[in-house]
Amino acid sequence: MDISLLLTEIMVALLGLLVLVLGLALPARGKTVVNRFALLGMIAILAYSITAFSQKASFFNGVYQIDMFGSYFKLLFLSAGILVMLMAGKYISRFEEKSSEFYGLMILATLGMMLMSSAGEFITLYVGLELMTISFYILTAYLQNDKLSAEAGLKYLILGAVSSAILLFGISLVYAMTGTTMFTEIAAAFTMQPALLAGVVLIIAGFAFKISVVPFHMWTPDIYQGAPIPITTYLSVGSKAAGFAALVRVFMVAINGADASFDWSMLLAILAALTIIIGNLIALSQKDVKRLLAYSSIAQAGYILVGVVAANSFGLKGVLFYAMIYVFANTGAFAVATAVEVDTGKTGIEAFAGLSKRSPMLAAIMTICMLSLAGIPPMAGFAGKFYLFAGAVQNGYLWLAVIGLIMSMVSVYYYLGVSKAMYIGENENDSPVLTTGGSTVALWICVLATILLGVYPGPLSELAGYAIQILM
C-alpha cells in the first residue's frame, strides 16, 4: 500500500484547509491573494493529476480504488472547479469578506466528488457524497442579502437530507441481504430477493436525485435559480458528474455485473426517457435563462443516462465523454449569463436582448455553447450524443435513441430562442458588457474546447475508452 498514490486527494484536502486558514489569518486586503492561491493550487493539482492518470491501486482490500475511471473524473472535477473559479471573477465581490471561505468550501466539495468517483464501497461513497452536498448546502445559501438564495439553500438542505436518507436506507437493505458494503462482494452475493431489489431501487432513487433525473428533479430549477451563478454552474457540471461517476461504478460493478435475471437497464431506460422528454418540454416555456439552463441540465442528465442504460463500451465511453464536454459547454453558457447578471442584475431573456451589438464575443460564445448543448455538428455535443445514442442502439434501445434525437431537435428551439434575443432583440443600453480577465480566460477555454473536441474528438474519446476498461 503506497500512500503516495492518494496524493491528488491529499493535496486537494490540504489546499482546501490551507485556504480556509489563510482566509482567517490574513487581513482583509490579503483576501485576493488567498483567492489567487486557491486558483493556482487547483491548477497545480490538475497538472499533477494528469501525470498520475494511469496509476492503478486498490486500497484496503478494495475500499478505495485508484484507477483510470476515477482519474478521468478527477480531471473533470478539477477542470470544472478551475473554470468556475475563473468565471466567478467579479461575482465574488458580492460575498465581501466571506470570499476565501467560498473558495475553501468549493475545494472541499471537489474533494467529496473525488471520493465519490473512487470509492469501492458504500460507506466511503456516502461520506464523499455528504462532504460534497453539505458544502453545496452552504454555498447555495451564500448570497445572504438575497431571499431567493436563502430559500434555495433551505430547500436544498431539506430535499438533500431526504434523498440521503433514501440512499442510506437502500444501502442498509443491501447490506442486510449481502452482509457487505463492498461493490465486488455485493455482486458476488446478489440474489433475487424482494428486499435486495427494494434496496437497489432506493439506491438508484438516491442517485437520481443528485443527477436530477425525472421524477426526482423538482428541486433543480428553484435551486439553480436561487444559488449564486458560479455555484449553479458547479452544481450542474460537478455534482452531476460525481453522481454519474458513482452511479456508473455501482451499477456496473455491484448491480448489473451479477445477475441478469432482472432488467435494471429497462428501469433506467424509462427514467432516461421521462427525463429527456419532460426536461426539454418544460424548458420550452422558460423566460429566465437560469431556469432555462436548469431544465436544459435536467434534459442533459437524461442524455447521459442513456449511456448508462446502454452499459456497453460505446455507451459508457459516451457517458464519460459527454460529461467532460458538458463541463465546457455548460460553463461557457453560465459564464456569459454571469457576465450579463453582473452587468444588468437580471437573468431574464430580455436582459440578453441586443447582446450581439453590446458584446459580439459574448453573444457568439453563448450561441456556440448552446449549439453544443443541442448537439449540432460540428460542436462537441454532437460527437457526445453520437456515442451515447450509438451505444443505446447497439444494445437494442432504438426507441430510446429515437426519443433522444427527437427531443434534441425540440431543444434547438429554446436554445436558439436565447440566440434570437441576442441577435435580433433590441436594447436601449448599448455599452459593452464588461468581463474580468479571469472570466475572459474561462470563456475562451470553454469555447475552444467545445469547438476543438467537436472537430477532433479522438484523443478525449480514447482517454474515456481507457477509463472504462476497468468496468468492461
Partner 1 sequence: MFEFSAFSLYDAAFLAIGGVTILGALGVVLFRNIIYSALSLVFTMLGVAAIYFQLNAGFLGAIQILVYAGAISVLIIFAVMLLMDKDARRTNLPTPRTKAWFAGGTITMMMLASIIAAVGFTEWPKTALQGVDNSVGMLAELMLGDYVIAFEAAAILLLVAVIGAIILAKGVENR
Contacts with partner 1 by CB under 8 A lie at 6, 9, 13, 16-17, 20, 59-61, 63-64, 96-98, 101, 104-105, 108, 111-112, 115, 123-124, 126-128, 130-131, 134-135, 137-138, 141-142, 144-145, 153, 173, 176-177, 179, 193-198
Nearer to partner 1, 75 or 141 (CB): 141
Q: Which CB atom, from 9 or from 288, has the smaller least distance to partner 1?
A: 9
- Collapsing DSSP to helix, strand or coil, 192 comes out as coil
At closest approach, how far in Å is the CB of 205 from partner 1? 10
Which CB, 17 or 267, lies closer to partner 1? Answer: 17
Taking the complex as a whole, the smallest distance from the CB of residue 110 to partner 1 amounts, in Å, to 12
Angle, alpha carbons 303-308-312 (nearest 5°): 120
Residue 257 CB, shortest distance to partner 1, in Å, is 21
Give the shortest CB-191-to-partner 1 separation in angstroms. 9
Nearer of residues 135 and 300 to partner 1, judged by Cβ: 135
Shorter beta-carbon distance to partner 1: residue 145 or 431:
145
| Of 122 and 382, CB closest to partner 1 | 122
Closest CA to 54 of 75, 40, 76: 75
Nearest approach in angstroms of CB 412 to partner 1 is 35
C-alpha cell at position 34: 488567498
Measured in whole angstroms, how far is the alpha carbon of residue 265 from the centre of its chain? 22
Q: Cα–Cα distances in Å, from 256 out to 47, 172, 201, 261, 467?
A: 34, 19, 13, 10, 18
- From CA 299, how far away is CA 305, in angstroms rounded? 10
> Would you say 13 and 128 are in contact if contact means Cβ atoms under 8 Å apart?
no
Per-residue HEC secondary structure of 153-191 comes to: HHHHHHHHHHHHHHHHHHHHHHHHHHCCCEHHHHHHCCC
- Min separation Cβ 90 and partner 1, Å: 20
Torsion angle in degrees (nearest 10) through CA of 10, 12, 18, 20? -130
Minimum Å gap between C-beta 267 and partner 1 is: 14
Rounded least distance, CB 291 to partner 1, Å: 23
161 C-beta neighbours (distance < 10 Å), count? 14
For partner 1, the closer of residues 173 and 368 by Cβ is 173
Nearer to partner 1, 141 or 401 (CB): 141
Please say which residue, 130 or 343, places its beta carbon nearer to partner 1.
Answer: 130
DSSP annotation string for 409-471: HHHHHHHHHHHHHHHT---S--SPPP--HHHHHHHHHHHHHHHHHHH--HHHHHHHHHHHGGG
Closest contact distance (angstroms) between CB of 97 and partner 1 is 8
Report the C-alpha gap between 469 and 67 in whole angstroms. Answer: 10
What is the SS3 string spanning 349-395?
Answer: HHHHCCHHHHCHHHHHHHHHHHHHHHCCCCCHHHHHHHHHHHHHHHC
